[in-house]
Every structure is written in structure tokens, then in C-alpha cells.
Amino acid sequence: MQASTANSRTERYMARVKAYLPALASDAVRRDFISCEIDKWEERYTRFIATEGASHRLSDASDQPTACDFIETLVALGAMQARLATDSNPLNG
């Protein structure tokens, strides 16, 4: 069975975020970064919904983003943010 596009989009994005976090100076800076990313994704999702997806059309019609892509990414960022608040090693998981 093929993985869903939503999962692969979110996984690719979160892999980039996880790779970037160790370069930040402290957990406080990491929390701020994740918080800003959540804000950006919420804005993108709002724009996506308001335009019925037209704001995020890709040239490849077979791989258009869906509302699920945004929700999964926001959930993954929220989980990472929660780990940063409670875990001594938030880059795990």
C-alpha cells in the first residue's frame, strides 16, 4: 500500500524542522521557532480554506495539497512544541 501524500508531505517538512532545531541556541529559541511555524501554518491553512485551495495550487495537478496536509502538519508541530515544553530531549520522537 502506498503512503498517503499528506503523510509524506508532513514527514518531509517535519524532517527538515527536526534537522534545523539543533542549530538553534536553546530550548527557548526552539520553542519560539516552533511557535512561529505554527502561526505561519495556521495562516496558510486559513488562506487555503478561504480560497478553496486556490492559494496553494501546484503545477502537478495529481499532487495538490489538501486540508489534511495542513492539519497533519499543525498536529505534528504541536506535538513537537509539547515535547519541547516537557522533554529534556525534544528532538526524539
Query: Which domain does 29 fall in, by range?
Result: 5-86
At residue 53, the pLDDT reads 84
Whether 3 has a pLDDT exceeding 50, the answer reads no
| Residue 93 placed within a domain | no
| Residue 15 placed within a domain | yes
* pLDDT, tens digit (0-9, with 9 covering 90-100), for 32-85: 999 999 999 999 999 999 998 888 777 677 778 888 989 999 999 999 999 988
| Residue 72 placed within a domain | yes
At residue 49, the pLDDT reads 93
| Residue 91 placed within a domain | no
Please tell me the distance from the alpha carbon of residue 77 to that of residue 39, in angstroms, as a whole number.
10
pTM of the model: 0.78
| Residue 92 placed within a domain | no
Tally the domains of the chain. Answer: 1
